[in-house]
Structure 1
């Protein structure tokens, strides 16, 4: 009789061990900690010389949208932003970055290229083309 009870206890122990193995549900985890705060370090971007860029450099997004219309692309990454406009023959990329902590991003860099082939073109000429579309 003692042997039967020991066998029953051993069987129950093996059954419980099987339930606690990899076939059961995952153990409860503590809730994830909140994301660490963003860095407070401000890196001021190098601003492109505005000569010949028709007042684009230094412009806030709202002014650029009024001037060129709806962008082909509007991409935000962190506190930076890229607006892309297209004319018949060229594509105009305007990069906006804040110049001070918590400031609104402004246009700091412009690139222009051909729609076909992507060769660089004069940004001022592309600005005029995009304005005229």
Structure 2
């Protein structure tokens, strides 16, 4: 008997895509195995001190969607002025994710450092309905969250 797998739902596909996009960030956080230890005179230390991981600035690809002009290219403080305090403010390596919610939608804004900016700037936006997680128009979600 031949079994076929059901086709994944859009939310399952989004979860898989998100997981696939996080792999490079998680890999950047992984230790290369090299640790340094700096003992203090007269004190024995058992825990090695790990050198901080510093990722080189990169130049991310910026979304080019009508209606996102005030968001894409903005830094964290500019985005917070537009939408208020984020529901989530998460560092993922050297990147940052800000999440804003309203009755209509949930907006995720991803900020990445570039070689031209000292702080991360928004280069990607994702939006979904608050009720069921289905994708919605990003520009419409931005407009709805700005009106509240």
Shift of 1:76: 1.1
Q: Distance in 1 between matches of 2:117 and 2:45?
A: 34
Unaligned runs of 5+ residues in structure 1 are 1-28
Contact 2:109 2:125 in 1 (8 A): yes
The answer to whether structure 1 residue 113 and structure 2 residue 128 are counterparts is yes
Contact 1:98 1:104 in 2 (8 A): yes
The answer to whether structure 1 residue 99 and structure 2 residue 99 are counterparts is no
Q: Distance in 2 between matches of 1:55 and 1:72?
A: 20
Q: Distance in 1 between matches of 2:132 and 2:55?
A: 40
Shift of 1:61: 0.3
Unaligned runs of 5+ residues in structure 2 are 1-43
Judge which range, 116-125 or 94-103, deviates more: 94-103
Q: What's the TM-score, normalizing by structure 1?
A: 0.70
User: How well do the aligned residues superpose, as a CA RMSD in angstroms?
Assistant: 2.0
**Residues 33-112 of structure 1 mapped to structure 2, 5 A cutoff:** 33-100=48-115, 103-112=118-127
Contact 1:58 1:108 in 2 (8 A): yes
Shift of 1:89: 1.2
Equivalent position SS for 1:113: strand
Q: Which has the larger radius of gyration?
A: 1
Equivalent position SS for 2:98: strand
Per the alignment, do residues 34 and 57 of structure 1 end up closer, same or farther by CA in structure 2, a change over 3 Å counting? Answer: same
Q: What's the TM-score, normalizing by structure 2?
A: 0.63
Contact 1:75 1:81 in 2 (8 A): yes
Q: Distance in 1 between matches of 2:146 and 2:128?
A: 15
Q: Distance in 2 between matches of 1:119 and 1:109?
A: 18
The alignment covers a number of residue pairs equal to 105
